Amino acid sequence: MKVAYLIMTHRLPRQVARLAGVLRRGSPTAAIVVHHNRRSPPLDRASLDALDVELVEPSLAVNWGGMSYLEAQLLSLEWLSERHIFDWVALISGQDYPVAPVAAIEHGLAGTDADAFIEATACPAPTGRPINEFALRYHFHWRRLPGRLSARAIRVAATRGVRLQVRSMPRSGAWLGVPARRTPFAADFLCYRGSDWFSLSRAAVETLLQPSLRRRALLRHYRRTLLPSESYVQTVLANDDRLTLCGDTRRYSRWDAPNATGPAVLRNGDLDAVLRSGADFARKFDERLDSCVLDQIDRLVHGWEPGAPTPAK
C-alpha cells in the first residue's frame, strides 16, 4: 500500500522542509510532492532535493479565495497521478504537521473501506432570507471589483436586498455577487461543500480527474464563485454513487470564531487537545510564533529529537 503526500505551500520554507523531513523519516519510499505558489519567495531546493521531494513545475500563481487554488490543486493531483503509482494521497498545507506516527496514518488508510476522507455537506440553493454563507458562495456568481468601485457598490448593495451582494475578501478586496441564472446543480446532482484538506484513494482521484461535459460545465460555474476549492471536489465525489465517503477528514484545527477566515495558529498550550483528537494531521503551525509545539510533537509522536538527521530516500 503506497501513500503519496501532496503539500500545497506559499510560505515558511524552513517549516516546509521540516514537514517533508518528518514525512520522509516515517515513510522512506513515499512520493512527496510540493506545489509552491509561484507568487511566493522560493523554497529551499537543496533541503528538499536531499529528501527526494518533487516540485510541481511549472507551478501556478495562486490568489486566496479565487479559482487559482482549485486549479493548482487539480493540476498537482494530475501531475502526481501521471508520475507515481499510489493507493492514497493526503493533501496537506505547508503549515500542517502529522500528529500521529506516519506509519499509523498509512496503516489506517490501508485498512479502511472508504474511498475518501472528506467533508461533504449538502449546500442547497437559497430559498429565503437570511441566505446561508455557503449558498451565497456557490449559488451566486461573483466578480472582483476595482478598488475605486468598492465603496459605491457597498452603498448600492445595501438598497437592493438579496439581488445584489458585496463581500470583502482578505487579500483580494471587494467582490460583487448576483444570484446565478443557471447552475449545473439538479435534483440528481447536488451542490456540496466542505474543508479543502482531505485524503483521497486512487479511485477518488481518478473520478475527480475524469473529463466529461458535466465536469467542464461545473468548472465554468465555479470560476465565478467564491472559495471554489471548498465545494468543487466535494460536489464531484459526493455525486458519484460508486464511491464511499467518510466525513471525517482526519484533520485537527481550532477556530476562534465562526466567521474567522482561517484556523488559529496552534501553540504548545494546544498540544494536549491536538494529541487527544486522534487526527492524522493538525494545522496550522507557525515556527516563528511557536516552534516548541513542533519539537514536542517530534518527541512524543515521532520518537526523535528535533534536529536529528533525516535519512534520504
Residue 204 lies in a domain: yes
* Whether the Cβ atoms of residue 84 and residue 202 lie closer than 8 Å to each other: no
Which CATH number characterizes residue 252's domain? 3.90.550.10
Question: Are residues 171 and 200 located together in one domain of the fold?
Answer: no
Q: Which is it for the CA torsion 67, 55, 212, 3, positive or negative?
A: negative
pLDDT in tens, the chain (313 residues): 999 999 999 999 999 999 999 999 999 999 999 999 999 999 999 999 999 999 999 999 998 788 999 999 999 999 999 999 999 999 999 999 999 999 999 999 999 999 999 999 999 999 888 888 999 999 999 988 876 565 566 556 555 555 788 887 776 778 889 999 999 999 999 999 999 999 999 999 999 999 899 899 999 999 999 999 999 999 999 999 999 999 999 999 999 877 777 899 999 999 999 999 999 999 999 999 999 999 999 999 999 887 666 655 5
Question: Are residues 209 and 169 located together in one domain of the fold?
Answer: no
Residue 100 lies in a domain: yes
Tens digit of each residue's pLDDT (9 = 90 or more) over 215-250: 999 999 999 999 999 999 999 999 999 999 999 999
3-state class (DSSP) for residue 5: strand
Strands 32-36 and 97-98: unpaired
Residue 16 lies in a domain: yes
Tens digit of each residue's pLDDT (9 = 90 or more) over 158-184: 555 557 888 877 767 788 899 999 999
Question: Are residues 24 and 165 located together in one domain of the fold?
Answer: no
Question: Are residues 69 and 167 located together in one domain of the fold?
Answer: no
Number of domains making up the chain: 2
In whole angstroms, give the CA distance from residue 240 to residue 46. 42
Domain of 277 in residue numbering reads as 3-121+195-300
List residues bridging with 9 in a β-sheet. 36
* Whether the Cβ atoms of residue 263 and residue 284 lie closer than 8 Å to each other: yes
Residue 310 lies in a domain: no
Question: Are residues 149 and 290 located together in one domain of the fold?
Answer: no
pTM: 0.92
